[in-house]
A and B are shown apart, each in its own frame.
Chain A
Amino acid sequence: MKLNADEITSVLKKEIEGYGAALTVDEVGTVLEVGDGIAQIYGITNCMAGEMLEFSNGAKGLAFNLEENSIGAVILGEYIDLKEGDEVKRTGTVMQVPVGKALLGRVVDPLGNPVDGKGPIVTDTYRPVESAAPGIADRRSVHEPLLTGIKAIDSMIPVGRGQRQLIIGDRGIGKTAIAIDTIINQKHSGVICVYVAIGQKGSTIAGVVDRLTKEGAMDYTIVVSAPASAPAPLQFIAPYAGCAMAEYFMYKGGHTLCVYDDLSKQAAAYRQLSLLLRRPPGREAYPGDVFYLHSRLLERSAKLSDDLGGGSQTALPIIETQEGEVSAYIPTNVISITDGQIYLEPNLFFAGQRPAVNVGISVSRVGGAAQIKAMKKIAGTLRLDLSAFRELEAFAQLGTELDKATQAQLDRGFRMVEILKQAQYKPMPIAEEVIVIWCGGGGKFDSLPVNQLAAFEPKLLSHMRDQFPEILKEIDDTGSMTEETEAKLDKAVEDFKKDYVSV
């Protein structure tokens, strides 16, 4: 296409003329003091709570404290070149972020600016960062599964679309891994994912983005990045921004998943702001409204009623504990807000049980309603087997002579624990999960040595995929197994076991 210089000039002229006439009328105030990401502002007496402000260096701010003679504002951006006496403009709007399909596959900061070097984000749709959660009449109960692709979770701690499921545990034992696997597993489910990284190392976030790209998960994922180097106000606002981006799709009838990694860092950032704004400190020096900080965020996750399009927003908040201390302030708060928690334990992790989910104390309060029939049926047996196993495990360590029944129960337990192990970045289709757990619960693995299960399982599954795709398809399509199918499965597994020669 040939570019005509005159055409460009005329278009530009038109653009410039449009700006010639208008006078701008602004309300401005003055910076009294500035520092540590907050500013005290004099003037702008009509300013509203939560209103966005604009500083003379172009940085945006949020009006937080409205006091008799001044306004306490947080600065979302650079504050080093701001000084006393600088002008602050009211914008008359609340903070909003760009939303829409243009964001998919992008890494953005909490203000919606791209940080991945892939050019500008072109969208004309925006959503306020803080918005009210859907009301009671707008919701319906959770009834569709959100599959994580992790056997231990999909079987015993199922997550439904619209549920808030907390992932809690000490540092470095696989909290993020569960969330990332869940995102990867949404590849064919049409669920749009938002991964909000708060207060993490920049290198960690880059690693996550890299992994998601490799797995092809960035096509349906938005990453909101507020690394440890970002100012506290940005870390504070990041989950709300991510939530707004997901909400857009939810209200359009889509299914979304929000991962907040992690909310303890967000609470710490909010504590910093509150203390600098001289709000009174409470327990653990958190401000009084730290519960509301998380409850208003997580309440925005919902399963919408059919009238509203039936969209959903599932939340996977992550909380980091110190030395397994779940009774600290922030963990108890978030545990009480969410619809259940996945509890990870260092002991299990270092014993090689990965994902290190403690299925005994992890719960899902609503996910059961969303589980497929086939899984619900076998998960009950699994749960019983495991709890019986835990009771007996202590005996086994003593090396005492055990009666046959007890020994059998123990053997079953060891195998159950073994099949719940799963490699990272290897989420499984639900049908395959069902088959593995069905085999375990049915005692199909009892004749195999425990240490060979890890090698046997993938071979069995690939055999099933190749020879009996109709069984997998039936589970996928109907969500349950008929008796004939079970019989067929039984025979297939037994035959395979006979032919199986361990390497």
Chain B
Amino acid sequence: MGQVKKRHPASNTYARALLEIAEAADEGDAFADQLTAFATALESDRQLRAFFESPKIPRGDKKSVLERSLSGKVAVPVLNMLRLLIDKGRQTLFIEISDCFGEILDQARGRKHVQIASAMPISGSARQSLVTLLAERLGGEIVATETVDPTLLGGMTVRFDDTVIDGSLRTKLKYVREAMSTPRLGRNLLG
């Protein structure tokens, strides 16, 4: 799970508007791919981002560069939104809008993002049965992201939305330690 930042309220509004257009054309997933691609480009290329977000570069220049490089490669509404953002001076929101779009689309499609962290890489069959089990429990399609975290010591944690299912050895040991250091009534080692 990436760092959660407080989002600008407008991001959600832009994303919803674009999604309505996309759903009307039945191109939601295509739009999402294009948005993610551009967002990734922005995130990885500092120069591109500086060009896109800098207030020093005239809006007309930004738009014409975008039109030349992107027209034909992305859907017209996506390009239009980029233009609109530049006109409104909201370019900095683009990455947020892209994230929002993805989330809202996933929600609409019933897709669940699940982060699985394990102490050791999970084998293919175990992974398959885990995903099937999660799909049964949560309903809908499961999009799993796996990470290996040796500090878990053993077992794994599964995380979706706000919920964490913790089966890691680290947590169990923590509980054992807590239980042993808490004084209790009526239990005495000496009987």
- Chain A interface (Cβ within 8 Å of chain B)? 1, 3, 7-8, 11-12, 15-16, 19-20, 23-30, 32, 40, 42-46, 69-70, 84-85, 120-124
Contacts and interface: CB of A to CB of B under 8 A. Distances in A.
B166 A24 contact: yes
Most buried by B among A12, A40, A42, A70: A42
B167 interface: yes
B25 interface: no
Contacts of A85: 3-4
Given A15-B176, A15-B179, A122-B185, A25 B165 contact: yes
A46 B167 CA distance: 22
Interface in B161-189: 162-167, 171-172, 175-176, 179-180, 182-186, 189
Nearest first, the 9 A-B pairs at minimum CB distance are: A120-B183, A122-B183, A24-B166, A42-B4, A30-B4, A124-B185, A27-B162, A43-B162, A23-B167
Contacts of A26: 163-164, 166
Contacts of A25: 163-166
15 contacts: A3-B190, A7-B189, A15-B179, A16-B176, A20-B172, A23-B166, A24-B175, A25-B165, A28-B164, A30-B1, A32-B5, A42-B4, A42-B6, A43-B4, A85-B4
Contact of A29 (B162, B165, B185): B162
A27 B163 CA distance: 4
B127 interface: no
B90 interface: no
Contacts of B7: 69
A44 B6 contact: no
Given A30-B4, A32-B6, A123-B185, A23 B165 contact: yes
Nearest to B186: A124
Contacts of B186: 124
Nearest to A28: B164
Contacts, number: 69
Given A23-B165, A23-B166, A46-B162, A70 B172 contact: no
A44 B162 contact: yes
Interface residues of B, number: 27
A474 to B, nearest CB: 46
A62 B159 CA distance: 23
Interface in B73-127: none
A7 B166 CA distance: 32
A19 B176 contact: yes
Contacts of B184: 122, 124
A19 B164 contact: no
Contacts of A20: 172
A108 to B, nearest CB: 14
Contacts of A24: 165-167, 171, 175
B189 A11 contact: yes
Contacts of A40: 6
Contacts of A43: 4, 162
Contacts of B185: 122-124
Nearest to A90: B162
Contacts of B165: 23-25
Contacts of A7: 189, 191
B112 to A, nearest CB: 16
Nearest to B188: A11
A319 B4 CA distance: 44
